[in-house]
Structure 1
Amino acid sequence: MSPIKILAGLFKGLFVQSPRMLGFAQRFLGAWNKHDIDAIMTLMAQGSSYRDPLSQGALSGEAFRAHAQALITAFPNLSFELTGPISIGDRNLVAGYRLSGRHDGPLPGGLGIDAVDPTGRELALEATMSLRFDAQGQVCVDNHFALDTLAEQLGFLALLMPREQGDYQFGAYYRLNRGNRAPPEAIGITWLLVRGGQEPFDAAADVTNKVLESFADKPGFVTGIIGARPPDEHGNSSGFTLSAWESIEALEENLLPNEDHKQVVHRFMKEGFAYGTHSRVYQLVRAKPVMIACTTCGKKNNAYKRNPVCSACGDPLEAPPPYW
């Protein structure tokens, strides 16, 4: 049975209570299921707003259009199937529904990553949509679904953590390694403090990711790590970029003359792009060998030994892991 027929059945006996709200809900659901962005926008008149766990707050106008288009692009067969129950108040309506679709398109990214690649996984979430109307007929749509369930179904990470706890501060990081398994002997680190909220934070994350990408194929590059703390209630955020290199010579030959790196340094240092900046280069003083366990007997072995067999049982060792 089509979602519209299910909707009509659930609405039976309720329509006389509030025809305007029920009519809006039916048209809104139908527009989403047809992937008709223009129809959705027509229903969301000026002053109306929409919110869901992925929207990062209430959206309206072109921001909502972009969000709706992003969802439909990421899930080309996205559908809303009303399952009930429906409850109606003086100016509000709440209905349960099933959100489903296959992740076959890119999702907007974050922390400098432009997009999240399609996973091809199926999404099926039990959800609740709340419609609240004001006296002028404008509507506030709150679309509720479990973000942790969405992440689990798509194979994503979803961590619940505080921004701060005692002396600890929390955020997120990602690493980039293009296959170089050599232990690094030189490390460059840049720390940033950004003020002004989400927009400057996103801009800083974007340019630092581009610099990391510009390092990744240079001779001697081992691993890059970017970490960030999103803006707090005061709009303050911070982050760091770490690049690990096979030698101090590789770092100096490829990091310092790098044009992308020069431009970013100029923006951060000369143009006021960041409130606070600091960079350092570290060189290896001493190190112990990278040790890995034999998968047969568990004996720890030097991962870089010339003859890659276990010193205890003689079985082959796995390849050294990418550093960090």
Structure 2
Amino acid sequence: MSLAFLLSLANILILAAAQLRPGFYSKTCPDAEYIVRRVMKKAMEVEVRSVASIMRLQFHDCFVNGCDASLLLDDTPDMLGEKLALSNINSLRSYEVIDEVKEALERTCPEIVSCADILVMAARDAVVLSGGPNWQVKLGRRDSLTARQEDSNEIMPSPRANASYLISLFNKFNLSIKDLVALSGSHSVGKGRCFSVVFRLYNQSGSGKPDPAFDPRYREKLDKLCPLGGDENVTVDLDATPEIFDNQYFKDLVHGQGFLNSDQNLFTNEKTREYVKQFSANQSEFFRAFVEGMIKMGDLQSGRPGEIRRNCRVVNFRSLDILLDDEGK
């Protein structure tokens, strides 16, 4: 990781979180949270998997220069955004659900609710609608004026990441080992592609052999779903209850049935193992830790100038002109 990028991480200040607060739109758009949840519920009825996708958008947005909806910007002739970054391409999805939320809010409260806040509200609602805990979200973020694919490539981990790397990464954002394990519990819902597991099945660490941490019966199941040379876009459940937000994910890790290397390594690593055991045995404790981690992650802010986008995929034209003028000085 480059020195320049590490220095940019230092600009993600927790101090900026002091400006965020629950009920931020209580006067300017009192129905904001109701509207977000209504659209999310409709999206879930159409496709259950969409809620898992929305849940992960917050993580992929907030870790790259703070929670500013830079992730949602489409590429332009002058800007390569984050959607096609290595950890996002063919992985992140359901951007159209965010578009639907934004359109509904613009009809009721035009130019009031930021896309960055929509991501945080929608992620919370994805958890709740899947059977997980509810909590008050702090709001008041502004949307970034630009995005850089390089920033996402520098910071976002791959499915092959091990717990030691993830501990170091989370520490850079003042997120603890407990936060790491709890937030990994977002994999309690949803699916992953065979692309993300074939190396574990057939060539772990270049050994030409499967990961020894696999439960043999689970490995046999994955062998059939993800055969060597097969279609790597086939999707597999991330845990045994992929449509319910619960602590089954941690129970699966204890039994060697984690799908991703970054999942299963949480149990094989001694620094993270105790939290996996704790959450597998106590769902309430997992829920409490997950909420705490989501709030802390939502506090990550860049402190850079922002706006309220009218369309989450593009910056407002006037703001773009100002940005280009500043860069030309």
Report the TM-score range of the alignment, normalised by the length of the smaller protein.
under 0.3
**How does the TM-score come out when normalised to structure 2?**
0.24
Higher strand share: 1
Where relative contact order (Cα < 8 A, 6+ residues apart) is larger, the structure is 2
Structure having the larger proportion of residues in helix: 2
